[in-house]
Amino acid sequence: MFVYDFSQGNKDMRDLLGGKGANLAEMTNLGLPVPPGFTITTKACQVYLATGEEPPGLREEVTEHLRRVEQARGRRLGDPDDPLLVSVRSGAKFSMPGMMDTVLNIGLTDASVHGLARQAGDERFAWDSYRRLIQMYGKTVMGVDGARFDEALEDAKRRHGAEHDVDLDAAALRDLVASYKRILREETGQEFPQDPRTQLDAAIRAVFESWNAPRAVIYRRQEGISDDLGTAVNVVAMVFGNLGPDSGTGVAFTRDPATGARGVYGDYLPNAQGEDVVAGIRNTVPLSELARLDKRSYDELLDIMARLEAHYADLCDIEFTIERGKLWLLQTRVGKRTAAAAFRIAVQLVDEGLIDEEEALRRVDGWQLAQLMFPRFDENARRQAIAKGMNASPGAAVGRAVFDSATAVEWARRGENVILVRRETTPDDLDGMIAARGILTCRGGKTSHAAVVARGMGKTCVCGAEALDIDVSARTLTGPGGVVVREGDVLSIDGSTGEVFLGQIPVVDSPVVQYFEGTLDPASGDDLVRAVDRLMKVADARRRLGVRANADTPADAERARAMGATGIGLCRTEHMFLGERRRHVERLILAESDTEREAALEALLPAQRRDFIEILAAMDGLPVTVRLLDPPLHEFLPDLTDLAVRVAEARARGEEAAEDARLLSAVRRLHEQNPMLGLRGVRLGLVVPGLYAMQVRAIAEAAAQRIAEGGEPKVEIMIPLVGSVEELERAREEATAVVAEVAARAGVDLAIPIGTMIELPRAALTAARIARSADFFSFGTNDLTQTVWGFSRDDVEAAFFPAYLDMGIFAVSPFETLDVEGVGRLIRLACEEGRAVRPDLKLGVCGEHGGDPESVRFFHQVGLDYVSCSPFRVPIARLEAGRAAV
């Protein structure tokens, strides 16, 4: 079965019927006024895309369902006397606004246009509908460049002295139909088909094919939607919003999708067809205006909105048409919303008794929380807005103005921040919107293409800034009072207020960050801060995963603690070898005798100890995992070329430069072709005598001192880059001896767990053996990703990942979101085999993935005890850990 009548589906059938089809079915079954129609399944589309042909039987099924629609409307498709017209609309499982095709008014022909005119009592309307059909059909089905039709339309307006489309009369539109047909003939050598069923079948095929339109492919990549899903096709009896002043079309939201504020919200366009609103081509009036224009329809709409919201228990957005005073619903879905709206609405719905707290937690995510933590413009900065548009998608974006998508992409590629400025955007602007920091349009409302797409991407957008006049060919934007913005000038746009500023406005922390840092009491914050606070409490109560932070300094440790970290999962000791201390590292490397080397290590010891004391104090009572030195020693030495030049110059001056010359030969000796795979981590610890022992001593002595000061240090020692258990055993033996010696000397009991990072495939594969010598495992997913894929983590992201992302080989970099299939499989294996040997083995992760929302879910499922991430991402990991548990 490839075709479902609206009465046969429901909202849970999105896989098969697409989002639009499933919700049209749901509304039909709720008894709401939906025009009759049917949905061709995504399965049919998949078959068509795979074979190039409609699946067997589809034609007959369409005939059968079309007959039912004809009966329901009492008209036949394209009947010359009283034609039924249908729309053919795409509708995938996930909403892809404007990315695929739609053809309206199918069934109009040279004969039926007269029937429509008679039935509607409106010649002009009939010819306008016919020219729209030819235009859409010509573009979508016959592949003619849309600009040709636009030119013909502009030409007609000029000849008839018409300012707007609506000013063209019936005769002018009839002429336009003739021009459009001529364009089709010239461009394709074919006539516009006069058989309604031929039109219908071709439109269905075109919608199937639009799944693979370039803009749809780009959008799916951006949104991480699979290419295999295909789109459903909805065939719906046409209703008309362009039948006069008692008709119209609009979109409505049951709450404000930008702020989450309660109340009815939307745009209405009298005497127009649906596409006019979404395309942002004409300016709309607020929905409340409908109450004045048509009170009965307005009341009915409000009533339906309340029912839909209660039924879906969520913010719904609705497309509707009023045909001569009769309200019809053309679509509803759970509406997209900004991050702030998502948090506010989730909490409101709990308060209204529509959902419980766990469901509220599922309704928000870590990406949204990350957005709320972005800085915003400083209210106190001196600033003067040059214009104010609509606050379509929040954030504070600063960048250079560009006026077309190609320039946006080009400039962004060379590292510029850009603001894409357009009169209005179309789906063809998608590339530019992705590349830009923010989007500014002069036309269109909060439901225009720019607004909808920007919100979906989480990108700052101000739309409908009508005071600004854009001249695309001159590449200028002119504001009130003659302000001129040229391409390349810096603009700041505020997506939360809709303001547009000339120049760069300084940004400040968001209140949500102030709340996390403990400097803003939620009770005195706004309702957004209170909503975040409430959902964080739910997440913390439900989560099983601990959340620690990666922090190497006392300041970072304190920040992490404020953000809710319950320990440090990775304290990298590298920075403790930089700055002033480099001198000692150089001495260590250049040492020609044990005594020289020991002296260098001796000099490093007090500095290291001090670092650890401060960090343990900042994290008193909480676990702190200190990782022994990992990077190769040459990283602490001067650059080979710089040093060689220095030595050569000194010699040219006749100086001996003995110290530099020794250093140079050491740098040459330590030089590696592949340092990432070279002498680093535990290898360094085993090959440079005394290095790890010194670090362990500093750690143990710091712990002993903290105990003496009355503190509660909970330090753990972590050995990096272990590939075989023998490496770990040797390092561990040495460390254990040093800890015991320090403990004995200080007269304290030092229980310091010693564990290892699992960051090489061999370590994961031999986890069962390694676990015998490790008190804990911490997955170093940065190196593990590097070594599982064979990707140099320092090179590939700039070198060829952009091409791989373009080609769709990845949806996202595996260094950002864990590759569950490959790297994840090794993690799972190491967890299972490690725990089989040692059931109390503590498991954590400290690679970048520990703060990535999607990866956190996997770490929960695989049974880790904690994730560790940068302090700023701690709240995100807490939220996602909670979501993973409900």
Residue 102 among known ligand-binding residues: no
Instruction: Give the count of residues interacting with Mg ion (CB under 5 A).
Output: 3
The partner in contact with residue 209, picked from Mg ion, ligand PEP, none with C-beta cut-offs of 5 to 8 angstroms by kind, is: none
Residue 530 among known ligand-binding residues: no
The partner in contact with residue 846, picked from Mg ion, ligand PEP, none with C-beta cut-offs of 5 to 8 angstroms by kind, is: ligand PEP
Which of 36, 394, 495, 780 is the binder for Mg ion (CB under 5 A)? 780
- Helix H or strand E encompassing 266: strand 262-270
The partner in contact with residue 301, picked from Mg ion, ligand PEP, none with C-beta cut-offs of 5 to 8 angstroms by kind, is: none
In angstroms, the CA 152 to CA 129 distance is 16
Helix, coil or strand: residue 869: strand
Q: Confirm whether 449 is a catalytic residue.
A: yes
Tokens of 632: 């190769």
Residue 783 binds Mg ion, judged by CB under 5 A: yes
Return the range that interacts with ligand PEP (CB under 6 A); candidates 1-9, 18-26, 395-403, 779-787.
779-787
Return the range that interacts with ligand PEP (CB under 6 A); candidates 177-185, 211-219, 448-456, 778-786.
778-786
Helices (H), 635-780: 640-652, 658-670, 682-687, 691-708, 725-746, 761-765, 767-771
The partner in contact with residue 781, picked from ligand PEP, Mg ion, none with C-beta cut-offs of 5 to 8 angstroms by kind, is: ligand PEP
CB of 18 vs ligand PEP, minimal distance in Å: 40
In angstroms, the CA 676 to CA 681 distance is 10
CB of 806 vs ligand PEP, minimal distance in Å: 27
Instruction: Give the count of residues interacting with ligand PEP (CB under 6 A).
Output: 10
Residue 662 among known ligand-binding residues: no
Do the Cβ atoms of 258 and 341 come closer than 8 Å?
Answer: yes
Looking at the DSSP assignment, which residues form a beta bridge with residue 332? 318
- Looking at the Cβ atoms of 311 and 572, the one nearer to ligand PEP is 572
The partner in contact with residue 41, picked from Mg ion, ligand PEP, none with C-beta cut-offs of 5 to 8 angstroms by kind, is: none
Residue 242 binds ligand PEP, judged by CB under 6 A: no
Residue 282 among known ligand-binding residues: no
Dihedral sign from CA coordinates of 78, 84, 85, 89: negative
Tokens of 308: 């839909």
Among residues 314, 321, 338, 282, the alpha carbon closest in space to that of 451 is found at: 338
Strand order in the sheet with 418-422: 385-388, 499-502, 490-494, 396-402, 418-422, 438-441, 460-463, 390-393
Find where tokens 């021009």 sit. Answer: 179
What count of other Cβ atoms lies within 10 Å of the Cβ of residue 519?
A: 11
CB of 814 vs Mg ion, minimal distance in Å: 15
CB of 782 vs ligand PEP, minimal distance in Å: 3
- Looking at the Cβ atoms of 341 and 827, the one nearer to ligand PEP is 827
Residue 380 among known ligand-binding residues: no
CB of 484 vs ligand PEP, minimal distance in Å: 48
- Looking at the Cβ atoms of 495 and 847, the one nearer to ligand PEP is 847
Residue 455 among known ligand-binding residues: no
**Exactly one of 442, 461, 831, 846 is catalytic; which is it?**
846
In angstroms, the CA 25 to CA 232 distance is 13
The partner in contact with residue 135, picked from Mg ion, ligand PEP, none with C-beta cut-offs of 5 to 8 angstroms by kind, is: none
The partner in contact with residue 572, picked from Mg ion, ligand PEP, none with C-beta cut-offs of 5 to 8 angstroms by kind, is: ligand PEP
The bridge status of strand 754-758 relative to strand 714-719 is parallel
Among residues 343, 316, 489, the alpha carbon closest in space to that of 416 is found at: 489
Tell me the CA distances in angstroms from 281 to 97, 332, 387, 447, 448, one per residue in order. 16, 22, 20, 11, 8
**Exposed/middle/buried for residue 683 (C-beta within 10 Å: 0-12, 13-18, 19+):** middle
The partner in contact with residue 173, picked from Mg ion, ligand PEP, none with C-beta cut-offs of 5 to 8 angstroms by kind, is: none
Tell me the CA distances in angstroms from 784 to 293, 571, 768, 781, 852, one per residue in order. 64, 18, 17, 5, 16
CB of 565 vs ligand PEP, minimal distance in Å: 16
In angstroms, the CA 498 to CA 628 distance is 50
CB of 779 vs ligand PEP, minimal distance in Å: 7
- Helix H or strand E encompassing 285: strand 285-286
Residue 782 binds ligand PEP, judged by CB under 6 A: yes
Which of 276, 309, 499, 630 is the binder for ligand PEP (CB under 6 A)? 630
List all residues 6 or more positions away from 722 whose beta carbon is below 8 Å from its beta carbon. Answer: 681, 682, 728, 731, 756, 757, 758, 760, 763, 770
Among residues 121, 70, 102, 73, the alpha carbon closest in space to that of 247 is found at: 121
- Looking at the Cβ atoms of 112 and 855, the one nearer to ligand PEP is 855
Residue 234 among known ligand-binding residues: no
**Exactly one of 45, 316, 442, 449 is catalytic; which is it?**
449
The partner in contact with residue 366, picked from ligand PEP, Mg ion, none with C-beta cut-offs of 5 to 8 angstroms by kind, is: none
Q: Which 559-618 residues touch ligand PEP, going by CB under 6 A? A: 570, 572
What count of other Cβ atoms lies within 10 Å of the Cβ of residue 530?
A: 17
CA atoms within 13 A on the CB side of 533: 17
- Looking at the Cβ atoms of 755 and 780, the one nearer to Mg ion is 780
Among residues 96, 132, 114, the alpha carbon closest in space to that of 240 is found at: 132
Return the range that interacts with Mg ion (CB under 5 A); candidates 155-163, 205-213, 601-609, 752-760.
752-760
CB of 370 vs ligand PEP, minimal distance in Å: 20
Residue 780 binds ligand PEP, judged by CB under 6 A: yes
Which of 209, 424, 759, 775 is the binder for ligand PEP (CB under 6 A)? 759
- Looking at the Cβ atoms of 135 and 781, the one nearer to ligand PEP is 781
- Backbone phi and psi for residue 168, each to the nearest 5 degrees, phi listed first: -80, 130
CB of 54 vs Mg ion, minimal distance in Å: 53
Tokens of 238: 């046409």
Among residues 639, 537, 414, the alpha carbon closest in space to that of 882 is found at: 537
- Looking at the Cβ atoms of 43 and 572, the one nearer to ligand PEP is 572
- Backbone phi and psi for residue 626, each to the nearest 5 degrees, phi listed first: -100, 125
The partner in contact with residue 165, picked from Mg ion, ligand PEP, none with C-beta cut-offs of 5 to 8 angstroms by kind, is: none
- Looking at the Cβ atoms of 21 and 847, the one nearer to ligand PEP is 847
- Helix H or strand E encompassing 288: helix 288-293
Q: How far is CA 722 from the centre of its chain?
A: 35
- Looking at the Cβ atoms of 533 and 759, the one nearer to Mg ion is 759
Tell me the CA distances in angstroms from 628 to 46, 143, 718, 811, one per residue in order. 54, 63, 6, 35
Q: Which 846-865 residues touch ligand PEP, going by CB under 6 A? A: 846-847
Altogether, the residues listed in the chain come to a count of 886
The partner in contact with residue 699, picked from ligand PEP, Mg ion, none with C-beta cut-offs of 5 to 8 angstroms by kind, is: none
Q: How far is CA 303 from the centre of its chain?
A: 34
Q: Confirm whether 671 is a catalytic residue.
A: no
- Looking at the Cβ atoms of 558 and 783, the one nearer to Mg ion is 783
What character string, x for contact with ligand PEP (CB under 6 A) and - otherwise, covers 783-802? x-------------------
Do the Cβ atoms of 409 and 429 come closer than 8 Å?
Answer: no
Helix, coil or strand: residue 864: coil
CB of 870 vs ligand PEP, minimal distance in Å: 11
- Looking at the Cβ atoms of 780 and 871, the one nearer to ligand PEP is 780
Q: Which 337-376 residues touch ligand PEP, going by CB under 6 A? A: none
Return the range that interacts with ligand PEP (CB under 6 A); candidates 179-187, 311-319, 323-331, 775-783.
775-783
Which of 179, 271, 608, 781 is the binder for ligand PEP (CB under 6 A)? 781
CB of 684 vs ligand PEP, minimal distance in Å: 13
- Binding footprint of Mg ion on the chain (CB under 5 A): 759, 780, 783
Binding-site sequence positions for Mg(2+): 759, 783
- Binding footprint of ligand PEP on the chain (CB under 6 A): 570, 572, 630, 759, 780-783, 846-847
Could you list the active site residues? 449, 846
Binding-site sequence positions for substrate: 572, 627, 759, 780-783
